[in-house]
Structure 1
Amino acid sequence: MYGFIAPAFTYGSPHVSPEDLYGSLFRDIQHSHIFEDSKTFADAIPLEDPVLIIERYHQEQDRPGFDLQAFISQNFRMPAHIKSTFEADKSSSTSENIGRLWEVLTRQPENQERGGSLIPLPFPYVVPGGRFREIYYWDSYFTMLGLKESGRTDLIESMVNNFAYLIDSFGYIPTANRTYYLTRSQPPFFSLMVRLYSDIAGNEILKRYLPQLQKEYDYWMQNDGPSHEPFTAHRRLVKLPNGALMNRYWDDKATPRPESYREDVELGNEARDRFGTAPEATFRHIRAAAESGWDFSSRWFADENDFASIHTTDIIPVDLNCLMHHLEKALAEAYLLHNNTKMHLQYEEKARLRVAAIQTYFWDSSRNFFMDYDFKKQDFTKAVTLAGTFPLYFKLATKSQSHYMRGYIRLNFMRSGGLLTTTIKSGQQWDAPNGWAPLQWITYKGLRNYNFHRTADELCAEWLTLVDKEFKHSGKLLEKYNVSDTNLIAGGGEYEVQEGFGWTNGVYLRMKNHKS
C-alpha cells in the first residue's frame, strides 16, 4: 500500500459543532448581540467540561438578575485576533515584512488550543490572520506560492501533510480545521498543492499522495442519488445530457452557520417572508456559497442586488469544474507513475469529457466569456465574474477564446489597483469595488499562459503598487483591497477588513518575482 502516513495523533475533543454541543445556550448567545462577530463565540474555549457549563446555564438562566455576558466571561475564554504580536517596519520593503510575518501566522501543533471548536493538526501550518485563526483550505494554496518564494519548503510540506491528514480523517478537506466547518469543503486546490510540492521535490510526491487525491475526487463525485435524469443533482454532483457529469457547491447541513448564526437566521426569515422560500433552503444556499469561498457575491443571487434571492445550489460554477479537471489530470499522472495504465486512461478520459462539458456549458458566445451555468433554468447565469478566467489559468480556453477574453478583462475588470471580482456594486465583499489576491493571481497567470504578457504586466504593476501603497500607509497587508479607488479601504461583507494576510502575502511575493 502506498501513500502518506500521518503520525499517531489524538484529538483534544469530539468533533461536535458548537451549536449542537451547547444547544439553547449557543442560540441565546448568538441572538444576544453580545459579540459583534458571530464567529467569536463559535471559537470560544470552554474553561471546563461543556456538559457542566450547559447544566449551570439551565440552572441559572431564569434567576433574577442573570447576566449572560458575565456568565460567558466566567465559563469561556474568547479567542484573540492574530495581529497584535507583529510590528511592521515601514522603513523596510513589503517583501521583507512578509518574510517576518510567516512566523507570526504559523501555528505549531503543541500550541494549538484544546477544547472548543478547533480540530488540532499534527504539523505546523500558516493561518490567514485576523479573525481567521485556523488553516483554510483554498487560502493555503496561495499562501504556499509565497512560502515557496521565501524558501519555506518545510511549511509547504507540513501543510500538504495536514491536508492529507484531514482527508484521511474525514474523507475530504473541510473549509478549515473547525468542527463547525465539517459539513462543507472549499474549492478543491489539493491537487495544485501537491503539484506545487512536486515541483520542488519531484514526481514521487504525486505517487505519495495518490490515495488522498483519490479520496478528494470521490468526495466531490459521490454519485448515489436516486435519479439519473439530466439536469438533476445529488450533493456536489450534477448530471447533464449525454452522461456528462459536472460539480456544484453544496453543504450537508441546512441550518444557520454557527460562525454567522444570527445573520443567517435573519436572512432566512427575510427570504421566507418575501419569496416564500423555506429557511432551510436559504441556509443551504448560504452554506454552499460559503463552500465556494466567495461568501458573498452577487454571483450567487437571482437578483444581483438582493441577498435574499441567493440560489447557489442551482449553479454549476466554471472555476470549480476547472479545478476538478486539474484533479482528474493529476490522478491520471499519478496512476501512470504507479504503472496502472487502466486507471491512467480512465482519468484521462474523464478529463477529456470534462473539457468538452466546460466548452459546452460555460462558454457564452454572445459575451465571448466563460460564465457559470444555472442547471435549473438550463441557461447561463447573469453574473459576469473573474471565475471566468479559470479556463485561461488551466489552459482550457481555445486561442480564439483567449483573445476575446483578454479584451473583455481589460474593458470590464481592470481598474487602477488591479482587477475587480465582479462589476456589480451589491455591498457584498466579493463584488465591486473590491479585488482579491487569489483572483489577481489566477488571471495574471492565465494571461501569461496565452502570451498576453503586456496585459499581465500591467495587472501585476497595478496590484503590487496598491499593496505597497497600503503597507506604507498603515503597515498592514489586507485580506482584500478597493481596486477602483485606491485611496479607500475595501468594504462590504459580514466582518471588518482583516489583516495578516496569508494569500495576499503569498501572491504578492510570487508576482513580485514575476513568476508565472
Structure 2
Amino acid sequence: MKHPYSILKLYLLLVLSFSLILSPAQAQQLYRPAQDLGELFEQVQLQRVFPDSKTFPDCVPLSDPGQILQAYEQQKHQPGFELKAFVKQHFRLPPQPDTSFTTNDTHTIVEHIERLWPELTRQPGDNGGSLIVLPNAYVVPGGRFREIYYWDSFFTMLGLQASGKTELIQSMVDNFTHLIQTIGHIPNGNRTYYLSRSQPPFYALMLRVLAQQKGREVLLNYRSALEKEYAFWMDGSGSLSVVNPAHRRVVLMPDGSILNRYWDDNPQPRPESYLEDVELAEQSGRNPEEIYRDIRAAAESGWDFSTRWFADGENLNTIQTTSIIPVDLNALLYHMELTLQEMAVLAGNRTEARQYEKLAKARRDAVLKYNWNAEQDFFYDYNYKTKATTNIPTLAAVYPLYFQMVKRRHAKAVVQKLKADFISPGGVVTTLNQSGQQWDTPNGWAPLQWMTIQALRNYGFTDEATTIATNWVQLNNDVYQSTGKLMEKYNVENLGLPAGGGEYPNQDGFGWTNGVLLKLISMYPELHKITEAEPELQN
C-alpha cells in the first residue's frame, strides 16, 4: 500500500513549481551582506568591530556593495587604515531601540502593553540593507530584533487578539502570505540572511486566530498559500529511499512513513552570528559544513540553543539537529494537514480532504511509534540515525497534547512528568538540563508556557494549567513592578535572578511575552488582581 503522501505528491510538486518564487532578477537585487561583501564582511565580524554580531548584517550600505568592497580592497593595506572607521564611512548603522519610551509608573502591566503595541509596530517601507520589504504593518519582538519573526508572531497575535487589534493581525497574516507567494516559504525573519531557513510552521495557527475574528470561511483566502508552505516542508518526499532516506526537511522512517526535521540550505556560518559559528567549528574539530548546517537547523527550530539537539546532552559542539525528528515540528505539521483538510472541505473538494485526513492520521501514528517512549511514558525527539529516542525531556512533549493527537493515557503520563519535574515557581522550565544554553533550565519562555497551559486544558488538567498560568503571570508582573520591563525570557526557578544563556543579553520589549501575558489575563479573570497593582520601579 502506498503512503498517502504519494497520492498528493504530483499535485504538491506542481503547487511548489508554480509558486511565485523570486525571479533571478529580483534575487540579484537583494542585498546579502556575507556574499556581497566577501572578505570585508568576514573581517568586520572576526575582528568584532561591533559587540553584537547581528549589527553589521543589519547595517545599510550607503553605496553599491561592490563599490564599497572595491574601496576596501584598495585601502585595507594603506598606512593608518582603520576598519571601524571605514565601516562607519560606508554604512548606516541600524536603528537602535527607541529610548524615548518610558514606563509610566501609574500604569498596570496591561496598560503598559497596550502602550507598547505602537512602539513595536513597524510600517511598510524600505529602510534598505538586508531588510526584506513587507506590504503591511507588523509587530517586531523588540530590542535587537528589528524585523518580523515567524513563530514569534503567532504568540504576539494572541495578545493583539486580546487587545481587539484584528486588522493588525490581518496585516501580519497577509505579510506572511506575501512571503510565501514571493519567496516560496516563510523565512526565519524578513532579512535576506534568513532566506535559507524557516521557523516552526505556525502559519496555520495564525490563520485559526484570524478565523476566530473573521469567521471560518476566511480560511479559503489562504488555501493556496498554505498548500505552498506544506509543499516547502515536504519537498523531496517523493524521492526518498532506503539508500537516501533524508532530503532537506523530510525523512523516510523504517516503516515507510515520512516525518520531518529542521534544516537549512546553506552550510555556512550564520551572518548574524558569524564569529560565534566560526569559533565553534574550529573548537569542535568537526567538518565545518556539518556543524554549520546543524547550528542553522537549530536556529530554524527556534530553540537556539538547547541540549535537546546535542549528541552528548551537554556541549554545543556535539550538535546534531539534522539527525533529529522533533516531536513538536511533526505535531505542527499534523495540524497543518488537518487545516488543509478543513480548507478542502470548505472548497467542496472532499476527495482532497480525505487525502489530507489520511496524511494527518499517518503522521499521528508515526509520531506515536517513533517519538513516544513507552518505558518512560513521555514524548521525546527521535534520532533517525541511531534509531532511538533521545530521552532528553523537554517541553516539546506537550505539542501532541496541544493538538489533541493522543489518548488520555498518554496525556496523563506527560502531565505526571510535568508535575514532577517541570512546573516551577515561575511557570514551567524548558528542559531539565542546566547547561548555560538559553533554551534549557532554569529559563522559561512565553510560547512554551502557552503551549503547555493549552495542552493541559485540552485534557481536563485545569488545576495544573491554572497553576502554571498563575505562576507565570505573577513572575511577569513582579519583574515589571521592579523594572518597568517585559523580558524575552525569565528564570522560572530562582525568581530573584534574571534569565541567562544565549548569544546576546536578555532582551526587553517583548512581542511574544506581551502577547501570551495579555491572552492569559483575558482567559483567567482571577489573574486580574495580580496585575492591578501599580509598578514600584527601582532606581
Aligning the two structures, in what range does the TM-score lie when normalised by the shorter sequence?
over 0.9
TM-score by length of 1: 0.95
Aligned to 2:385: 376
The CA distance in 2 between the partners of 1:13 and 1:126, in whole Å, is: 28
The CA distance in 2 between the partners of 1:185 and 1:316, in whole Å, is: 16
Q: Secondary structure at the match of 1:425?
A: coil
The CA distance in 1 between the partners of 2:27 and 2:175, in whole Å, is: 16
Alignment of 1:338-487 (within 5 A): 338-487=347-496
Q: Does 1:106 align with 2:114?
A: no
Q: Does 1:253 align with 2:266?
A: yes
The CA distance in 2 between the partners of 1:382 and 1:203, in whole Å, is: 39
Aligned to 1:67: 82
Alignment of 1:188-267 (within 5 A): 188-223=201-236, 227-229=240-242, 232-267=245-280
Q: Does 1:303 align with 2:312?
A: yes
The CA distance in 2 between the partners of 1:78 and 1:225, in whole Å, is: 46
1:147 Cα deviation from its structure 2 partner: 0.1
Aligned to 1:87: 102
- Superposition RMSD on alpha carbons, in Å? 1.8
The CA distance in 1 between the partners of 2:26 and 2:146, in whole Å, is: 18
Q: Which amino acid aligns with 2:372?
A: W
Aligned to 1:126: 139
After the TM superposition, which segments of 4 or more aligned residues of structure 1 sit over 3 Å from their partners?
A: 10-13, 224-227
The CA distance in 1 between the partners of 2:143 and 2:57, in whole Å, is: 15
User: Please, which of 30, 34, 57 is the counterpart of residue 15 of structure 1?
Assistant: 30
Identify unmatched segments of 5+ residues in structure 1: none
The CA distance in 2 between the partners of 1:266 and 1:83, in whole Å, is: 32
TM-score by length of 2: 0.91
Contact 1:392 1:446 in 2 (8 A): yes
Contact 2:237 2:250 in 1 (8 A): no
**Distance change >3 Å, CA 389–CA 224, structure 1 → 2:** closer
The CA distance in 1 between the partners of 2:28 and 2:514, in whole Å, is: 32
Q: Secondary structure at the match of 2:29?
A: coil
Contact 1:11 1:119 in 2 (8 A): no
1:211 Cα deviation from its structure 2 partner: 0.4
Aligned to 1:514: 523
Number of residue pairs aligned between Structure 1 and Structure 2 = 504
Aligned to 2:130: 117
Q: Secondary structure at the match of 1:446?
A: helix
User: Please, which of 162, 170, 175 is the counterpart of residue 175 of structure 2?
Assistant: 162
1:359 Cα deviation from its structure 2 partner: 0.8
State, as a whole percentage, how many aligned pairs show the same letter.
49
Contact 1:131 1:498 in 2 (8 A): yes
Q: Which amino acid aligns with 2:140?
A: V
The CA distance in 2 between the partners of 1:463 and 1:331, in whole Å, is: 34
Contact 1:231 1:238 in 2 (8 A): no
Aligned to 2:189: 176
1:149-172 residue CA offsets vs partner (Å, 9 max, x unmatched): 000001100000000000000110
Q: Which amino acid aligns with 2:465?
A: A
Q: Secondary structure at the match of 1:357?
A: helix
1:226-249 residue CA offsets vs partner (Å, 9 max, x unmatched): 541188210000101332010000
Aligned to 1:140: 153
1:81 Cα deviation from its structure 2 partner: 3.4
The CA distance in 2 between the partners of 1:342 and 1:113, in whole Å, is: 46
Q: Which amino acid aligns with 2:106?
A: S
Contact 1:167 1:173 in 2 (8 A): yes
Q: Secondary structure at the match of 1:246?
A: strand
Aligned to 1:58: 73
Identify unmatched segments of 5+ residues in structure 2: 1-18, 526-539
1:90 Cα deviation from its structure 2 partner: 3.0
The CA distance in 2 between the partners of 1:227 and 1:216, in whole Å, is: 20
